[in-house]
Amino acid sequence: MLLSRLARSSICIQRHTAVGFNLAAPPPAALMRWSSTGSEPERANPVKAETVSFEDGSTRMRIVRPREDGSTEHRTFHNLWLRDNCQCSECVNPDTRQRNFDTFKLESVRPQEFFQHETHLEVRWDDDHRSIHPWEWLECWFPGGFMKEGRPPQLWSSRIAENPPKVDYRLGAEQIMADLTRNIWVYGFCLVENAEPTPEATQAFLEKIGPIRNTHYGGFYDFVPDLALADTAYTNIALAPHTDTTYFSEPAGLQAFHCLEHEAPPDHNPDEPLGGESLLVDGLQAARLLKRETPNLFDTLRDIRVPWHASGNKGIAIAPDRTYPVIEVDNETRRIDRIRWNNDDRGVVHLFDSPPWYVAARQWNDIINRERSQYRFKLTPGTIVIFNNWRVMHGRTAFKGTRRICGAYIPRDDFVSRYRETNFEHDRVIRHNLNLCAGHGSSTVRKDSPTPDRLRRIWN
């Protein structure tokens, strides 16, 4: 049952005057009979008295809504919270969406009267300011309002090779951006097929997602295996599944690769494979398997923090702001936030933590190297792979000859912004950013879909 019913089933506009209330004591019916002139409050139609009222000497507003079973539920909203979150154009700059007043200069925050409109609650305060609070903004704080987003991550194994997420470059970046970013959000990666096999076109396409992140390797990269930089990526040896930039406090969000060419060595037998298969591993699926098979080892990789570093290039000695575990979990939601794994870039595990950590890391390494955990494919000119570096590990088999690879890192925040802006209406995104409980998407609602009157989602 939705809060909008309170306004729609009762009135379009109702007014209550709060001056002089002993609001903590009288029953709702007494409040309905009171007004500053001693007359009935103005209203267009009868309304349940308990719909909106004030408590504790007008320091809090109480909103009650009906449930489907005929019972009711309520939430109380403190005056300062309501006043601070007014959404009118005086309080929030309509161009920048930034707060336009100093919260802490509000000496008195007491309501004088309120109006129940069809779409929002309006409160007049003792400084004569009228604040606007959309019903759906308030409703998300009720039980059941905190619903996770409708497109949670879809975990996968090697069987995803049967139908990997992909988009067609030829349709144009703007036409495929919603599908591309949604695939990355849901599956952790996406293939962009039929791309122009040049570094210039690849860079231009990636910049449509977000700005390219500069690191000690530079920005957009275009390299061959010549060890121009001291990193195993610049060789032709096999690379086990790993995430990049574990040594940054905030690792790169997205990573992209485009194989522009793979030249065989002069003496190569054409009947033999050149190697260089790419492989992806779903870190969320690997973590789930670890927890299911050996819960105590999952806890070990979640709880024990280890150092990470990048120290191979002259003048470079990078380490994150603190030690981090392999599996990072959000303390509030208990969901996995990030996988941080590269055994080559790992520092020294603390002496006292090392026995259980090595056992857990060995099991983790076994899981991510299982054939059924890895999606293997050959990168060829014209196919760009873009993946979530916080979730998906990548690697490759050894190869012969010379491969030319280009690509880039894109910050996580910029990717998430692009995903939201291309998949959901801008106003809904803004509501989410201002109030994390007011979500804006689901598996059945697209940017071009009609929006239900009340849709409640929150990002996970």
CB 237 within 8 A of CB 421: no
CA 200 to chain centroid: 29
Exposure string of 391-418, with b = 16+ CB inside 10 Å and e = fewer, is bbbbbbbebbbebbbbbbbbbbebbbbb
Residue 60, classed as helix, strand or coil, is strand
pLDDT at position 145 is 62
For residue 442, what are its two tokens? Answer: 């689901």
pLDDT at position 134 is 83
- Residue matched to tokens 């299911």: 292
Question: Nearest CA to 202 among 382, 422, 1?
Answer: 382
- Residue matched to tokens 């933590």: 353
Q: Which CATH superfamily is domain 158-418 in?
A: Clavaminate synthase-like (3.60.130.10)
Question: Which residues, in sequence order, are CB contacts of 295 under 8 Å at separation 6+?
Answer: none
Residue 317, classed as helix, strand or coil, is coil
Residue 208, classed as helix, strand or coil, is helix
Q: Domain segments of the chain: what residues?
A: 4-139, 158-418
Which ranges in 34-187 belong to alpha helices (H)? 79-84, 135-139, 173-187
Question: Which residues, in sequence order, are CB contacts of 167 under 8 Å at separation 6+?
Answer: 176, 179, 180, 183, 190, 191, 192, 193
Report strand pairing: 60-66 vs 52-55.
antiparallel
Half-sphere exposure of 128 (CA within 13 A, CB side): 0
The Cα–Cα gap between 109 and 126 comes to 7
CB 127 within 8 A of CB 90: no
- Say how many residues make up the chain: 460
CB 418 within 8 A of CB 447: no
CB 418 within 8 A of CB 210: yes
Q: What is the CATH number of domain 4-139?
A: 3.30.2020.30
Question: Nearest CA to 326 among 376, 363, 375, 279?
Answer: 363
Backbone angles phi, psi at 287, to 5 degrees: -65, -40
The Cα–Cα gap between 222 and 261 comes to 11
Local mean pLDDT, 10-residue blocks, the chain (460 residues) = 37 31 27 27 32 70 83 88 89 87 85 87 90 83 61 94 98 96 98 98 98 95 70 76 98 98 88 91 99 98 97 87 97 92 96 97 99 97 99 95 95 96 83 61 37 29
The enclosing H or E element of 115 equals strand 111-116
